[in-house]
Amino acid sequence: MKRPALIAWAALAAATILAPAAALADSFAGYIPGRMLLEFAADYRPAVAKAARGVAVDDPALQALADELRVSALEPLYPAVRFAAKAGAPDLSRHWVAEFDPSADLDAAAAAFAAVPGVRKAVKDELRRMDIAVPDDPSLSGQWYLRNTSYGGKDVRWLGGWQEAQGDSNVIVAVIDSGVDWHHPDLGGPHPDKVNGALFTNWTEYYGNPGSDDDHNGRIDDIRGWDFVSGATGGWPGEDMSVADNNPMDFGGHGTGCAGNVAPLTGNGIGISGTAGGCKILAIRAGYLNSAGTGLIGMAWASQGIIYATDMGAKVINCSWGSSSILETAVDYAQLNGVIIVAAAGNDNHEIPEFLGTADGVLSVAATGPGDEKASFSSYGTWVELSAPGTGIFTTWYDHETASSTYASVDGTSFASPITCGAIALLWSAHPAYTREQIIDLLLGSCDDIDAINPTIAGKLGAGRVNLLKALGDRLHRVPAEFESIDDAINSAAPGDTLALAASLVLPAPFEIKDKDLTYLGGWDDAFLSRDPVGTPTVITALPTSPAMSVNDGAGPAVVVDGFRCTGGGQQYTSIP
């Protein structure tokens, strides 16, 4: 059951054409009026031109139908594809879209199109809901999913992973969603044109001729991505709905929230940190907020976004919304060109997947809480590949009611998915020559198994929760070179790891040896090149009324402590074995 929300994400626009709920997956929200997706036979490509009556077609049968339905546009769904066809790749030129009178009966129109010789398939374009529980605390300032300061708390071990690798601007993550607030200070950056921030900039178009398709990709002036939403009705008042254009600006906030989990500006002294700060976000708008407050994604717009993202060089694509088989051709194209697609598992707390949940090669992500427990709302199943934090996620946001860039705390697999995308981008930054298969193997092979914490659904949360430190680091954790805080190092380390502490480090007393099988080695020089545990041990100074060091009752024989001097309190110990 979905979590309570301030906005009713299940409501539908009045103009949406409904289908029986039992026949479709949970995210289904209706069909787009006046829009049909067509797949032509391999040897059929009509010649189409604009005409006073709408379109002029060289096929009499198709022309008659176009006249009857008052077709205003008939064009390729995926124009100007950049990559040469690979063996086994789908023929994108067979996929077209027709736009016609929105009052026409869609079922009758589908049957009429399918009856035209040369038309292999006619499919109504679907709307799917975004997977989200809406903001509940815009003032929350913690990002536990990156740095959980509670001992035993679970996160993606970003703090340690960030010391091993930082984001590479050549690694692009596409966020296909409601758009991205590219004016946001944590995303757009300080440049007046917002071209030196976290978002990908198409420099060919930026320095090109305004009004021209300088990079010949079929999109004019796509400096910072593309907005595929067109011909839509029933949107929130003031939202851009009518024409596809070069402004992928967000309105509902969902896409901005996802972008903030991937790669916001990190280390800029404001706002939040990002899983893959330094990598770039390609903003693609394929959905909108309808007048009832429901976030909707058009499946054809999303499929166009997947093709566009692939052609623009994205290595990772985030899909935080419900899905259908309309995406199949685009997904195949992206994966054959080395792209990793990541999808939210859904917020229905059941085992029923949608299309992307079981599509070959797509990574489906469930959501977890601070203790690695499955989030109460998260869907799950044997089809899930892995899990990531998805509750109380503090991230960037756009508030359309105040037209302001802000921050919010949100729940949902919608945010577990982009956190995973950020993790993938960080792995690719560290290993730029890796293939998509190698990156996926590294990601899944380094996850922390969380079945013991979730015994009733063991095997249904994938490989476990993302662990960047395990994926990127070694098993020697240097304090303060890699971790400023010894507590962060202890929490991030896995049993069997070693903590190296500089002799110059000032440790607070009482310093507790935890119930985790770790080796604590004091006495290192500041460069961590040599160690003198007797001559220059790490010193812990006790207060007069408290011990310098304590050992947790749960600490076992595998715990090793060496190279410390405890002073104060009237006693001194050198090199505790």
Residue by residue, DSSP assigns 529-563 as S-B-TTTSPEEEEPPTTS-SEEE-TT--TT-EEES
* Of 303, 387, 414, 417, catalytic: 414
The DSSP symbol for 402 reads T
Task: Respond yes or no: is residue 477 known to be catalytic.
Answer: no
- With tokens 């044997």, the residue in question is 382
The answer to whether the beta carbons of residues 15 and 102 sit under 8 Å apart is yes
CA angle (395 as vertex; 285, 348 as ends), nearest 5: 75
CA-based radius of gyration for the chain: 27
146 SS3 class? coil
- With tokens 């796509």, the residue in question is 222
**Residue 393 token pair:** 């996620």
Separation CA 281–CA 195 (nearest Å): 12
Separation CA 310–CA 176 (nearest Å): 12
Residue by residue, DSSP assigns 79-120 as -S--SPPPTT---GGGEEEEE--TTS-HHHHHHHHHTSTTEE
* Of 26, 125, 177, 227, catalytic: 177
Residue by residue, DSSP assigns 442-502 as HHHHTPBP-TTTSGGGTTSSTT-B--HHHHH--SEEEETTT-SSHHHHHHHPPTT-EEEEE
Which residues, at least 6 apart from 208, have a Cβ–Cβ distance to it below 8 Å?
Answer: 214, 215, 221
The answer to whether the beta carbons of residues 387 and 465 sit under 8 Å apart is yes
* Of 254, 324, 429, 488, catalytic: 254
E strand residue ranges, 316-456: 316-319, 340-344, 363-368, 386-389, 393-399, 404-410
Residue 509, CA distances (Å) to 60, 95, 550, 566 in order: 87, 68, 9, 9
Task: Respond yes or no: is residue 311 known to be catalytic.
Answer: no
Whats the size of the chain, residue-wise? Answer: 577
Separation CA 209–CA 295 (nearest Å): 35
- Provide the terminal-to-terminal Cα distance of the chain, rounded to the nearest Å: 53
Which residues, at least 6 apart from 160, have a Cβ–Cβ distance to it below 8 Å?
Answer: 468, 469, 472, 473, 477, 482, 483, 488, 489, 492
Separation CA 552–CA 556 (nearest Å): 9
Residues forming beta bridges with residue 282, ordered by sequence position: 174
Task: Respond yes or no: is residue 183 known to be catalytic.
Answer: no
A 10 A CB-CB count for 368 gives 29
The answer to whether the beta carbons of residues 295 and 188 sit under 8 Å apart is no
Burial class (CB in 10 A: 0-12, 13-18, 19+), 79: middle
Q: Which residues are catalytic?
A: 177, 254, 414
